[in-house]
Structure 1
């Protein structure tokens, strides 16, 4: 028996003292839960801009579970998918486990401490008070699911099913299973292991079984082969999943079973043809993504994780790099279902720390356990194509035994899985020249290449962060080196993609970043005048560098990427803020231009304004209130950008694209009239996945023609009726001091967002939105009830 244990925990801010217990009444919460996101940001927070100015701190979670008499003789376990961080687990007041790393899952065996026919108390203390311990927003608490598992003494080990596909063809494939069986009894037992492959329709495709003698208090690893005739191959375009049903049978009864999703596909990497999926060359159109879920903080709701994957997939991405830690199981499940390739990454640092209290403090003690946790948990996901042992590791230049560690970690990965490539993301080394032009090489030699060569040696794929200038040179110097652009600046997407297409040994490009995130505050901001700091000062709290903002709204850089990748059909009009016309502007390499697709600039009538048009067509023409501002060359030869200078006047701005002299498409921006209402648009009108299912509702202040009133930033209040609740509110403002919890939020550029959560009961959920001077807006979302 296995079930989620997410409901009705008691959360106590400040944690629990071993001497005095908890010192407050606490509050009832459901998991996943992030107690940082409910805190008021503080400019004096120890985590600072890196942690989005959230305080962190201590917390304690408690829950009672009734354990009946008939569970005697069985094992009782908890699986924690993720706790940030320094977790201490007690059961009936007895310490049963500690787990430091905030991003790996772990199991706790409660059996020795169980009280039968009685209530049993679970207590989880979380310590995220030792800031700074992260370079980004980590969140705090039990932010992923918790599972209760009750099993017979004879069972399949946790994460004990490993699936590979040694033979793959549309006509015939072979699925190999390696299943670890455990016997907790003091005598030998004989069981049957049956493995069945089920297709999408629920029909059995093939099966096999073996009779196994399990030693007393021992285990056995059983290999089986399953022949598959006509095969649906898993791919980005057709992510077909089978289900493997693994069953232990004793005395004609199934005493344990596990279900595993299986995608049948092949992966190959070489320097001549790059990366191939099912024998076909695929260039990786990649996005780096942090683990947080925007308005929800780090709380890993299944739907929130799925939505991130949906957004990226719908906008041309075919790959995601999990930066810089193992993601939630729900995230990888979504990648399997939707067809997104994944780099699964273990660590942001090794023994050389990047913050005083980060994982570097614990690396030597914990890395093997945490890396094996990632590998065992994730290795059946067909979406995963590479394992990354780290990001921008300081030991990449050989310091602190870095070359040996690089080999040790790569070899360790291959002990668990040899079917995927091993990578590591390297970046420039401060103070070390990485330029490869002739003059630089003559005077300095290839310092970066020589220092990192032994570090890269044990890798299958070398991850390059911000090292595009080395692609061609290293391809010649190291002819067998396969390179992946594991991080790149959004402002250089054109140049990066040109290099990926030009060089077969460069298999893809991963932008930093696909979706905006909390922390590394203001890394993508622009400024006018003198820059005061590397990261943004308070109240900056989002990175502001994603193709999608914190709400999931598409940003201008994403529309430009549409042109580079050949997705775009219509021109995109990007208007520079006229307030800063003619001023000196600065930005980081992660910045995008200070533009917005709007023709609403009250107070700037008659003032000069710059307009940029992103266009794939040969030519583009811009019209202001019917008057042509000129027809100009566009397209690839002009890097898809055309700049216009004009004077602002209210009305209509139209961009028209031409190919071979013919009109292909046009885009219209209109100055909005006075606001007349609020428009509510849920991304899902039916919540059919039980308690915790979500609907993201876009909130827009509009005029009588449906145009968004971009300059309207009034406060909007929300109320929810029916079997649902208001989980989060937010907008895209990266410097707002408002909370992401509560019942109101100001609009930003005419928009906001509300996230509605199903409570698991059937019925109609009604969301109301109210603002001064506007009629109340309502939308209905249907909850289908619990599936458990």
Structure 2
């Protein structure tokens, strides 16, 4: 396919004059010029007037059409090479420096300033920055930054990556005496009900050619905006040097951060000379303590807490990799309402905005660094490791040279977030090392190769013998793990280090687990008891698990297992080779449009205490069930088969529209002990949860139209389905009626086909077109179905189960936005969104 190029030129902004006080980071995302294609656009006088003008973040892959001729591992979307360009009016005084900071560029970027190359950065998920001095600028003329992004290896990661400058760019102008990027580090070494100790480490850099004396002043601001404590430290630095200055501040009656109470503090750090502030930084943090116990699991602020987590890949469905914060907020709020209290950033570091949201909403985060170490993975055939060719060669090519820099840059950026409670140094690494897969015993012929269900059939001594007698690989798994762990601990010792281990029987005996504070198990609940027998002193938890009852049941029965991260919280693009037209995996609790799925409601019934119940239906003839007439109960065709279910939930429907005389299995997922089902006011019986080992209430019901109602014995939980008539209208629902005029804020508009009485019609689909008038634009459409292959960047989309989604983003102007949805044969539906405060 044709390669594509990405140039980055810094857009005109107000000229900074010499100023003693440093600014905070400046949003540097607006008015970039962009073009795809093979060219050399690094020179400052390159003619880019005809290029497209856009704001960052930007993902060019998601703007393209899906194609069966591309690779399913990254969602059948292209990569290529492209350029972005932006002019910058920047006048640095002799006492100033600046930093150009990139949160994430996918990938293999090169950056130039006025034709001089600043550097190369291959990894698409780690932050990086370049220092700008007056010598690099053009006196009396605008400067130009150009960035080439090379994603010609478009199938180089697991899974969808996106292409381009898909995360924020910021500019920081500061005095030559300053705290560098990510130069303030806040921890809470002592946490109690009456008082807490806040430790602040501030790196001060003196870029002057003479020594400087100064004072570091830190004020701690509480959740309500009041200064609760402060401290100061005097220091002196020689020319062109830097040093870390430590402060300890006490906070009385601290308000602790937790998923229930995500209280946030701010450290305001200033570098002052003779009473004048030369540099100022603000650092948000939380006061909390974390501890893992090998026998009793996880403790937050001294209290036991089960980790009810989900894995999240970084794409946002219709918006690709350039995900507005409001898109993540909607998804995270839904997951939290379903009982989720933790997120694993599978398989790469998340964006700072994502972590900000988790700080604010109260979601714990396992921050994961890598999916590939010394050896590559076959992205097309997960775990098969058959081939790696040019378009699938990933970060393994750069790992030896860049691993330390990328890891440390991520830790430095993320370590102040209270939500981050674990560092994961890698995901399912073991099987890429020659001999380790065989040594595990999971894949012996006599074991059947079923690592989901079969516990290890060989003892640790035999695993160790197999490793020691095999031909040694070029790289040793344990040695690489120890290096990664040491680099992490060098910058942060307050959080445990883990990894997602797909072959933990190998990890425990090879030395890999010795580098970890906590061993994460990937689809290995059958190893929990094995670990208890052989490795009782090492804390463990599930770090990649099926979204099924049997996975959570295994945790409830074992207090030492700290919790799970389900694969996944949301359906994602990619991992779809051989599944065309399916462009992703349906294993999420939410679909790509953010709509809840049956598995979401099952996990909600397990993870929440507020009364809840959810109805689903399916034809008995098409289900995994049979009617045991003697017992008067629906049973499995294969007893115990529920314990063999994997990623995707079994097929069920969310409607009550069948043919007369058909027998329908009615399922209910609830956190109640007893439920009663009623059809048109007539009781169809009371069922007890104790009668269903799979925790799914079931009735066999001869269909008749009307209303199906399920209710708990107390009446606190109720759900209903009604038979829908023919489509008659569309109903629009907006998640936010007012958005900010910043060019970034979004609202989600859901269009649902209903009958004349407003009952959702979920058995009839049709194409819907959207029109947006006013200071906003339509940036994506979706329906939640992974087999819909129409472009996300369109103004029309077919419904799925009678509904679809439009995502609207504000411009920088205030006013009223009219959102119109149209479909043939039905009246248009109109909704209004306000942009701004008027």
Same fold, judged at TM 0.5 (above): yes
1:15 and 1:181, CA in 2 relative to 1: closer, same or farther beyond 3 A? farther
**2:725 aligns to what?**
673
1:415 and 2:487 are equivalent in the alignment: no
Q: Is 1:83 aligned to residue 105 of structure 2? A: yes
Q: Distance in 2 between matches of 1:202 and 1:642?
A: 49
d(CA) in 2 for partners of 1:606, 1:257: 73
1:511 aligned residue? 566
Deviations 1:400-452 (A, max 9, x none): 21111111111221111111100011014xxxxx8xxxxxxxxxxxxx35774
- For 2:264, the equivalent position in structure 1 comes to 241
Bigger mean CA offset, 161-170 vs 391-400? 391-400
Q: Cα deviation per residue 1:696-717 (whole Å; 9 max; x = unaligned)?
A: 1121112232211112322211
Task: Please tell me whether the aligned partners of residues 342 and 384 of structure 1 are also in contact (alpha carbons under 8 angstroms).
Answer: yes
Give the secondary structure class of the aligned counterpart of 2:63. Answer: coil
| Change over 3 Å in CA distance of 1:617–1:208 after alignment to 2 | closer
Q: Residue 160 of structure 2 aligns with which residue?
A: 137
Q: Tell me the residue number matched to 1:571.
A: 613
Distance 1:597 1:244, change over 3 A: same
Distance 1:582 1:194 in 2: 66
Q: How does 1:44-193 map to 2 (within 5 A)?
A: 44-45=69-70, 48-68=71-91, 71-111=93-133, 112-193=135-216
- SS of the residue corresponding to residue 363 of structure 1 reads helix
SS at match of 2:182: strand
Count residues with an aligned counterpart. Answer: 745
The structure richer in strand per residue is: 1
- Is 1:752 aligned to residue 804 of structure 2? yes
Contact 1:92 1:122 in 2 (8 A): yes
Q: Is the 8 A contact 2:609 2:671 kept in 1?
A: no
Is residue 26 from structure 1 mapped to residue 51 from structure 2 by the alignment? Answer: yes
Equivalent in the alignment of 1:775 = 827
**Is 757-766 or 646-655 further displaced after alignment?**
646-655
User: Using the alignment, how far apart are the partners of 1:7 and 1:612 within structure 2?
Assistant: 50
Instruction: Tell whether the 8 Å contact from 2:338 to 2:608 is kept in structure 1 after alignment.
Output: no
Following superposition of structure 1 onto structure 2, how do residues 230-379 of structure 1 map, counting pairs within 5 Å?
230-355=253-378, 356=388, 357-379=393-415
CA distances 1:338-386 after superposition (whole Å, capped 9, x unpaired):
1111110000010111043111111111100010011100011111111
Q: Distance in 2 between matches of 1:667 and 1:300?
A: 33
Partner secondary structure for residue 360 of structure 2: helix
Larger CA deviation: 561-570 vs 321-330 = 561-570
Partner residue of 1:739? 791
3-state DSSP class of the match of 1:16? coil
Mean Cα deviation higher: 667-676 or 555-564: 667-676
Please state if 1:427 is matched with 2:502. yes
CA distance in 2, matches of 1:150, 1:449: 49
- How big is the shift at 1:231? 1.1
Contact kept in structure 2, 1:343 and 1:387, CA below 8 Å: yes
Structure 1 position 495, deviation (Å): 2.0
Deviation at 1:187, TM superposition (A): 0.6
Residue aligning to 1:439: none
1:607 positional shift: 3.7
Q: Please state whether the residue corresponding to 1:305 is helix, strand or coil.
A: helix
| 2:17 corresponding residue in structure 1 | none
Indicate the residue corresponding to 2:445 in structure 1: none
Distance 1:97 1:123 in 2: 11
1:39 paired with 2:39, answer no
Say which SS state the counterpart of residue 351 (structure 1) adopts.
coil
Separation in structure 2 between the aligned mates of residue 128 and residue 755 of structure 1, nearest angstrom: 26
User: Residues 292-691 of structure 1 correspond to what in structure 2 (within 5 A)?
Assistant: 292-355=315-378, 356=388, 357-394=393-430, 397=436, 399=473, 400-428=475-503, 448-449=505-506, 452-490=509-547, 493-521=548-576, 535-567=577-609, 569-576=611-618, 580=622, 589-601=646-658, 604-626=659-681, 628-635=683-690, 638-658=693-713, 665-688=717-740, 690-691=742-743
Match of 2:223 in 1: 200
Mapped partners of 2:218, 2:521: distance in 1: 41
1:636 to partner: Cα distance: 7.5
2:778 counterpart of 1:726: yes
The SS at the match of 2:562 is: strand
Deviations 1:604-657 (A, max 9, x none): 444444332324434434344455544433358533213333444433323343
Q: Secondary structure in 2 aligned to 1:638?
A: coil
State how far apart, in whole Å, the 2-side matches of 1:719 and 1:737 are. Answer: 21
Q: Specify the alignment match of 1:527 in structure 2.
A: none
Kept in 2, the 8 Å contact 1:15–1:22? The answer is no
Partner Cα distance (1:705, 1:627) in 2: 22
Is this contact kept in 2: 1:551–1:753, CA < 8 A?
yes
TM-score, normalised to structure 1's length? Answer: 0.90
Task: For residue 118 of structure 1, report the CA deviation from its aligned partner.
Answer: 1.6
The CA deviation at 1:154 is: 1.0
Residue aligned with 2:417, SS: coil
CA distance in 2 between counterparts of 1:156 and 1:451 reads 41
The corresponding residue for 2:454 is none
Q: C-alpha displacement at 1:511, in angstroms? A: 0.6
Asked if the contact 1:241/1:337 (under 8 Å) is kept, the reply is yes
Closer, same or farther: CA 784–566 of 1 in aligned 2, 3 Å: closer
SS of equivalent residue, structure 1 residue 364: helix
Q: Matched residues in 2 for 1:651 and 1:766: separation?
A: 36
Alignment TM-score, normalising by the size of structure 2: 0.85
